[in-house]
Chains A and B, each alone.
Chain A
Amino acid sequence: MFESVWLLFALPALGALIILFAGQWMSQKVVGWVASAAVLAAFVVSVMLFFSLTALPSAERSITITWWQWMTIGDFKVPAAVLIDPLSVTMAMVVTGVGALIHIYSIGYMDHEPRYQRFFFYLNFFILAMLTLVMSNNFLGMFVGWEGVGLASFLLIGFWFDKRDDMYGWYADCGKKAFIVNRIGDFGMILAMIMVWSTLGTLVFTELGETVHHLAPATAAIICLLLLLGAAGKSAQIPLYVWLPDAMAGPTPVSALIHAATMVTAGVYMIIRTNLLWHVGVPAGEVAAWIGMLTALLAATIAMGQTDLKKILAYSTVSQLGYMVAAAGMAAYGAALFHLVTHAFFKALLFLAAGSVMHATDGILDINRLGGLRAKMPTTYRTFLVGAAALAGIPLLSGFFSKDAILVAALDHNILLYIVGAVTALLTAVYSFRAVFLTFHGQPRDPHIFEHVHESPRIMTTPLWILAFLSLVGGVINLPFILSLEHWLEPVVGEHEKILLVTELLGITLSIVIAVFGFLLARALYLRHESWAERLAAPIAFLRPMIEHKWYVDELYRATIVNPLKAVSGWFARVFDPKVIDGAVNGVGAVVNDAGEAVRKLQNGAIPTYALSIFLGVVAVLFYFLFIG
């Protein structure tokens, strides 16, 4: 069975090629179904891989299939090979499973899009790249997927490359920003890979264990910090998260698939995958834990102040990714992967439901202009509510268990981290229900929009129901005290660290209290406008302008990095290169050729004859010297 893993790649590749070369003769529906069928079939393959893996004893669940030797120079050997183990198969199932649902949804969502051929080509290409990322057995192969998904992201964010609006500016610029910011992360990835090979002599994940104990902790920490920079780019963490909110310029299914469920979790995946290095470079893990937790808090505060539904979800994604990175940094890999999976379900659901709203309102997602939609869009409302409740951590939903796992790990690890995480959890519950109440409850604030609102077609609502179901019950893959996912992951990350029962119980109690209080607070603030809540919020009201302007981080970067760099390159291009360097060259030429004489000749074109005669002279002398002399 494992040999047929090539199908996992061949299917989306085939889909992409068919659409690229034959798509122009197909209707939108046919193209959409070809793309969806390819991903659905790949999902079947990944499920079969999963069952084949479970049939093996735990210790043997790591199968490498080598296709060819990719690069070999001396000791530097990199194969083109895939690694089938619990981690990669879990990721593959999420990518193809959620991916297939979003593909199908897109058939309905993109029904009026003339460039559907490109769209589905990009989507299939993305799946191919994402599978390369999670299945490769070495750093460099992973990096192929890593940048491949970056390219897909660039193409899809700027999908409407000729469109602009007040919120995003030119959509094409959003795509460009995403790619370049990600390249800053890739800078870290490249150096980390170079250092890994130079110190450990291999880039193959399964071979790291052989030599990793020789690695100096300081070196390991540097490598891990460089990897963290890469993760910060791809998984939108401080200081590189700024591209993700702008990435919402892309079509909403893209936001769901790439910028919520799958690609942005690549950084978390990568940290889990390289856990052996993090065990040696412990301080880097602490940094990751803090970066992640602070990102979670920062993004949650910004989400509070956003009025665009997709932007709320985008900052929420940054925030939840922060939790995952924090968990991975604390070596709570099971919790990180658990939250990755449940988040893929409920955040994909939230985005798709938001897309359903957008589909009905002709693109308007400003929650100040919506309201009362639940009357006209019952399915969208119900499924969105499930997603928001899961995000808020309402007990018994999937997000509750996975977020609780991270918070408990933080409680066990460092009380300060836990406090930051708990405050974030409260904010999360508030902004989740704020989005629900302002969009779907109350009175319609813009009757004109409301008038045209309608429920989406079945091809869009079916994926919503499936994802809602998964968001509801997804927690079963890793229930407290049973821990099946963490156990499943043991061949990759080692034994799960036991946490005291009292810590577990304290954590879970607090999680319940926080979620319920958050819900009540949001209801009081945004639905019932109760005075107690408004009094509670009043002392921090002064933060509002800061939050609405996203703490001015974009402005800060522009002023301190982008503009200075542009000024320098402008000076190089306009002054230094033509005047100084070229000036020196022309100056030398002038001196050698007796002052201004040469310059004048250069300009009037008399010099070619002069230069040529020199050359012919030299050739003549040379030949005389060689043949006659």
Chain B
Amino acid sequence: MASSIPYLLTIITFLPLLGSVIVMLVPGDGAKKWLALATTVVTFLVSLLLWTNWQDGYAGMQFVEDAVWFAPLGIRYALGVDGISLFLVLLTTFLMPIAVYFSILYVDKRVGAYMALMLLLETAMIGVFVALDLVLFFVFFEASLIPMYFLIGEWGGQNRVYAAVKFFLYTFAGSALMVVAILIVYFSAGTFDIVALQSTPLPAVVQTWAFLAFSLAFAVKTPLFPFHTWLPDAHVQAPTAGSIILAGVLLKMGTYGFLRLAMPVFPQAAEQFGPLLATLAVIGILYGALVALMQKDIKSLVAYSSVAHLGYVMLGVIAMNAQGVSGSVLQMVNHGLSTGALFLMVGLLYERRHTRMLDEFGGLWASVPVYTGLFLVVAMSSAGLPGLNGFVGEFTIMLGAYNYMPIFAVLAAAGVILAAWYLLTAFRKMAQGEITNPANDKANLKDLNLKELAMVVPLVILFFVIGLFPNLFFDKINPSVEAMLATRTALIEQATAEQMPALELAEIVVTEAK
């Protein structure tokens, strides 16, 4: 399909990279800071053109760009977005200005390099969501590792080096497997074209091995239980903006990978391993919540809550029905907004008190009511309070999961109880009770100022918009999801049809033998 605005995706993807180069070149920290912010804001505004120029009801890729990159192997520079990736791109461009602005307010150390890395990261993340060629996808996927590695390793907390290396090695191990998987697929199907692969039948053996390799890579990224232990370390050590982006966007590269590649390209293998993955997802929901309940560091609590939340997303993806998948796509956005906002709130508190230990707080509702009220709204969004965003995603996912296998919906619904438990426990320790530490009282702790509100309020508004008008999003998500499911069903039916004659023959042989 011809896009109405030429090269729009290229512009959105590489604007931050351009900004990054300029940030490195211009002198002066002030100029670097504001240039970085301007870049992310402009990128966000340009990305809104995707929304305004969207062709509603069209299921395929829009704003497609396609050029030969390396002809001998058929590697192409192919970009495009559909209803599945659109909102992940917008989520990225929306969260970046918030993360960068927070850094402007609170990061002093080597600002230029920091901002350049943030912008580099944005290009890589957008690239992952718009790439339609496997090699291109892989390049962006890997490219996102480097800036995040340095952001944690250079600007992180006390144990930053350990956390950064763990993050890097862990996800890198996954990536190594992905290279293998990509090669397997290429040698079997003869193409790197992601869209074409979705309707290419692959032999069972190829499916099994490629699915497993991709799954491991994405399971680490998501992270799916039991591959999650890098995440709390990375989050606790990462600077606030790093955590916002890590939880808000980077984790979705894993679930997006499942949804875009692993599930539709290898449908039989996906069906075979579906129950196993769903089991891990549900364990993640319950286990993540239980571990979160015991955390003393708020960031670590939010990190484990991410394990639980991403479990829901995975469950919907594995269900492979309309409600489950559309719900998952929306829930990726919801988790990005809610958890991003939680990390933002924690960051705002940390900059005031230089601690994140729950025991250090108490009674904040009396001293900083605006902060506390907004924190509660964010926590409720994360806990899936109906009327806010998280509920829409969680409910539709559970609906999908029930129609996949009821037991998974039952267990996932139990996670809803635990979510309220750990979030309210955190809220109880932070905001309620008496002020015992003078550092928390009204005289010493300032409530949010306008600059800080400017970061939090847009997120909160989106909670309500998505919660009350989710069809603004589903209208664009559904057609692509339904088309993907239809293609996948056709692929499975085709494969079964091919096996049928052989089976019938065998039956005839058996009956005749009798």
Contact = CB atoms under 8 A, between A and B. Distances in A.
Interface of A: 68-76, 80, 118, 140, 143-144, 146-148, 151, 154, 158, 161-162, 170, 172-173, 176, 179-180, 183-184, 186-187, 190-191, 193-195, 197-198, 565-566, 568-570, 572-574, 577-578, 581-582, 584-585, 589, 602-603, 605, 607-608, 611-612, 614-615, 618-619, 622, 626-627
Chain B contact residues (Cβ within 8 angstroms of A): what range?
A: 35 or more
10 contacts: A71-B396, A146-B386, A162-B433, A170-B432, A191-B413, A574-B294, A584-B226, A605-B161, A608-B161, A619-B142
Given A144-B387, A190-B398, A73 B474 contact: yes
B170 A585 contact: yes
Contacts of B366: 161-162
A194 B421 contact: no
Nearest to A611: B168
Nearest to B164: A608
B interface, by DSSP: helix, strand, loop or mixed? helix
B503 interface: no
B387 A577 contact: no
Most-contacted residue by chain B among A170, A186, A195, A577 (CB, 10 A)? A577
B416 A183 contact: yes
Interface stretch (B208-216, B465-473, B490-498, B506-514): B465-473
Given A147-B386, A581-B226, A71 B470 contact: yes
A73 B403 CA distance: 14
B453 interface: no
B388 to A, nearest CB: 9
A259 B392 CA distance: 28
Interface in B24-60: none
Given A180-B421, A194-B402, A195-B402, A73 B165 contact: no
Contacts of B431: 161
Contacts of B165: 602, 607-608, 611
B229 A581 contact: yes
Contact of B478 (A73, A190, A622): A73
B424 A73 contact: no
Nearest to B363: A162
Given A80-B468, A162-B433, A569 B291 contact: yes
B399 A140 contact: no
B287 interface: yes
A176 B226 contact: no
A176 B425 contact: yes
Contacts of B145: 615
Contacts of B228: 581
B87 interface: no
B421 A570 contact: no
B162 interface: yes
A523 B409 CA distance: 55
B291 A72 contact: no
B290 interface: yes
Given A581-B226, A585-B229, A602 B162 contact: yes
B123 to A, nearest CB: 15
Most-contacted residue by chain B among A158, A176, A183 (CB, 10 A)? A183
Contact of B75 (A151, A566, A618, A626): A626
A619 B135 CA distance: 12
A158 B372 CA distance: 14
B326 interface: yes
Nearest to A77: B471
A64 B172 CA distance: 56
A504 to B, nearest CB: 43
Interface string B370-393: 000000000010000111000010
Nearest to A75: B322
A481 B149 CA distance: 79
Nearest to B396: A73
A187 B421 CA distance: 13
A577 B289 CA distance: 13
A71 B392 contact: yes
Interface string B474-494: 110010001000000000000
